[in-house]
Amino acid sequence: MLEWATPYWLLALPLALAAPWLARHPRIAVASLGAVKAPRTLRSLLAFTPRLLGSLGLALLVVAMARPQDVNRERIQEKDGIDIMLVLDTSGSMEARDYEVGRRRASRLSAAKEVIARFVLGRPDDRIGLVVFGEDAFTQVPLTTDGRAMVGFLAQVDIGFAGKRATAIGDAIAVGAQRLEELEAPSKIMILLTDGQSNAGQIDPIEAAQAAAALGIKVYTIGIGGSGGGGGGLFGMLGGGSDLDERTLQRIAQLTDARYFRADDTGALLKVYETIDQLEKTTAEVKEYVHTEERFEAWAWSGLALLMLQALLGETLFRRLP
């Protein structure tokens, strides 16, 4: 890319072009024009040539003084991304329609998916995965930096993906921790969202949290829905995590040096993910390498050559007698 090191010299271009034409030349005083009248020849027709060469030569020198350069800028962005495992409750109680999406009543799961999608698309430099849980827990999406693909898989998640009748929070934390342990990353976090209490699975939630803490994994916990019961239809009444166990969620977050959040509506849920987004920032360092190659020499030599040619022709072919 062409750049100018001292571009203010270009302001002198009009003066450089005009200077040879403004210079005064010696004149001979004669009594009448008839004394100097002579036939027009090719030499007389080209008498302006030295001045033209002078204009061009000075203009080229001015351009050389502005120092044209070929500049190649190389920007290298080094990013330390975070590994984030989203752990989402898909049990029957998440069917309760006590949230809003686009000013319409929506299920807890629909509201959660809407907010999580925004969170994922806002973190393009991180690897993000998804674990869903109900009676069981499994990895729906392995850790990936493809945010759009992640959102596509998230949209397909529905009630009962891992069983409707119970909530295995401990197993979900264990599955998420196992996935996070597999890859190297400067920081690893888990964001667990549920509306219930752990009443299924093989692993106690507190024990799972302690194991995650030993692996250096923070587990942010989010409680949604009413604390007095989910009421999400038949499966909500049959024990699909309808009573929110805030004490356990707080303890999980405390053990892993994270935080517990309560979100009673979609707006509050959105703020929770915005807060986590601010707490867990991806670090990025941008380095710029500039390769510069000077290009003024050709302009300078060309300008000098034209001025020398002007002087030579002015003293020979186009010499003016005093």
Q: pLDDT tens digits for 300-309?
A: 898 888 888 8
Q: Is 0.85 surpassed by the pTM of this model?
A: no
What pLDDT, on a 0 to 100 scale, did the predictor assign at position 283?
65
Is CATH 3.40.50.410 the classification given to domain 82-281? yes
DSSP 238: T
What are the residue boundaries of the structural domains of the chain, listed by start?
2-73+293-315, 82-281
Element (H, E) at 114: helix 108-121
* CB-neighbour burial class of residue 205 (10 A; exposed 0-12, middle 13-18, buried 19+): buried
Q: pLDDT tens digits for 9-33?
A: 889 888 888 888 876 655 545 545 5
What pLDDT, on a 0 to 100 scale, did the predictor assign at position 87?
97
* CB-neighbour burial class of residue 245 (10 A; exposed 0-12, middle 13-18, buried 19+): buried
Tokens 């400067």, located at residue: 186
Backbone dihedral region of 20: left (phi > 0), alpha (psi from -120 to 50 degrees) or beta?
alpha
Q: pLDDT tens digits for 100-156?
A: 998 899 999 999 999 999 999 999 888 999 999 999 999 999 999 999 999 999 999
